């Protein structure tokens, strides 16, 4: 039996015990339905082999070879990851387009006695829903951007605001990147498709009648592009701006980027990459600060000389509405809790004002 999915909500509430992606490991690694496990019925090499036989020999021979490979791999899964599944277990299976790979595996599992279904249209059905949400239709959610210069703890404030009931999407968290030359983290970035899928699922889980707080970003986070529907909504969105003293920002940034400051070679490479923007003399000075371990001074100069001017030029390109400016005198844990409280209140005031966030610009300390 095939399950037809017409919206991302169908996947969120599918009711099955396990979602199984039977595509090859390479296909799964590029993108998959969130939460699905990978039990390939053909690995990467086997899939390529069957495809070659299909085009160079005959479809019949390819199906015969493929069936034998699927049976062997299915046996391995039954004796391994599925060995302890009880009689009432309900799996949902998909392959690329809901064809032979998923139906073959589903038939075997059904013969065991499990109540198994396949996704009609396979992964492509899911991908079409993501593409529609992120590329084709306007985003139905009303956004508020959390703005502020580098080092104003915006990502941490998103987390603290979410604990206070604010609807939040952490773009940098989903992109596995902190949004600047220094922003790479230990985990590799997902593929573009996987990033878009995670975004689509994140927004699907939120109420479009309430504002959603996202960090003000450029159109690219690391190597990933913010998809068009979201980017258009971000360009129109009003913002709440966080202001903090340079010394506080430098101290916060030194701790937040401790993974980079602890890796001398990685830090050197990132600083050298700024040469086209800052010139050799200034970059040499920054390299010496790094060598001497003067990280707070380095962070302050990077912000004052490089990042703050770039933010200022970026803001001057448009005239975004500023709903509130929040002064963060301290970025200590206690200070951030206080700012998060005022941030949640500012979002609440915007929500109460009107659907277009037409409240008056304010300032709060």
Q: How far is CA 252 from CA 161, 175, 331, in A?
A: 18, 22, 7
Helix (H, G, I), strand (E, B) or coil at 143: strand
Q: Give the dihedral of Cα atoms 95, 100, 104, 110; nearest 10 deg.
A: 70
Farthest-apart Cα atoms in the chain, separation: 74
DSSP 187: S
Q: Which residues contact residue 189 at a Cβ distance below 8 angstroms, ignoring those fewer than 6 apart?
A: 175, 176, 177, 195, 222, 223, 224
* Euclidean distance between CA atoms 270 and 180, whole angstroms: 10
- E strand or H helix at 148: strand 143-148
Residue with tokens 């050799």: 280
* Euclidean distance between CA atoms 92 and 269, whole angstroms: 46
Residue with tokens 């992606």: 21
Which residues are known to be catalytic? 95
- CA-based nearest residue to 47, from 80, 29, 71, 25: 25
Task: Work out the burial of residue 149: count CB atoms within 10 Å of its CB; fewer than 13 is exposed, 13-18 middle, 19 or more buried.
Answer: buried
- CA-based nearest residue to 95, from 136, 123, 76, 72: 123
Residues forming a β-bridge with 362:
324
* Euclidean distance between CA atoms 32 and 39, whole angstroms: 12
Q: How far is CA 329 from CA 13, 97, 248, 365, in A?
A: 44, 55, 8, 8
């Amino acid at each position: 039996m095939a399950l037809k999915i017409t919206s991302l909500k169908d996947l969120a509430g599918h009711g099955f015990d396990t979602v199984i992606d039977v595509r090859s490991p390479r296909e799964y690694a590029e993108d998959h339905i969130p939460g699905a496990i990978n039990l390939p019925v053909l690995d990467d090499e086997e899939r390529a082999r069957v495809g070659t036989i299909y085009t160079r020999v005959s479809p019949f021979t390819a199906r015969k070879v493929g069936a034998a490979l699927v049976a062997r791999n299915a046996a391995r899964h039954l004796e391994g990851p599925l060995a302890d599944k009880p009689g009432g277990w309900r799996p949902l299976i998909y392959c690329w387009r809901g064809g032979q790979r998923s139906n073959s595996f589903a038939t075997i599992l059904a013969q065991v006695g499990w109540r198994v279904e396949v996704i009609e249209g396979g992964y492509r059905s899911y991908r079409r829903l993501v593409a529609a949400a992120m590329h084709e239709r306007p985003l139905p959610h009303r956004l508020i951007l959390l703005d502020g210069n580098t080092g104003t703890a915006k990502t941490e404030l998103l987390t603290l605001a979410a604990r206070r009931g604010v609807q939040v999407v952490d773009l940098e968290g989903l992109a596995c990147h902190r949004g600047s030359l220094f922003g790479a983290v230990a985990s590799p970035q997902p593929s573009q498709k996987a990033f878009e899928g995670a975004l689509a699922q994140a927004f699907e889980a939120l109420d479009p009648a309430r504002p959603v707080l996202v960090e003000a970003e450029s159109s690219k986070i690391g190597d990933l592009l913010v998809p068009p529907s979201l980017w258009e909504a971000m360009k129109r969105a009003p913002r709440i701006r966080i202001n903090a003293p340079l010394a506080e920002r430098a101290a916060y940034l030194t701790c937040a980027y401790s993974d980079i400051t602890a890796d001398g070679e990685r830090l050197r490479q990132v600083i050298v990459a700024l040469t086209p923007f800052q010139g050799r003399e200034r970059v040499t000075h920054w390299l010496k600060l790094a060598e001497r371990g003067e990280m707070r001074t380095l962070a302050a100069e990077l912000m004052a000389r490089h990042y703050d001017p770039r933010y200022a030029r970026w803001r001057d390109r448009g005239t975004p509405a500023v709903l509130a400016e929040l002064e963060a005198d301290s970025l200590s844990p206690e200070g951030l809790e206080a700012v998060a409280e005022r941030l949640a209140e500012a979002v609440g005031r915007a929500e109460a004002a009107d659907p277009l966030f037409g409240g008056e610009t304010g300032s709060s300390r």
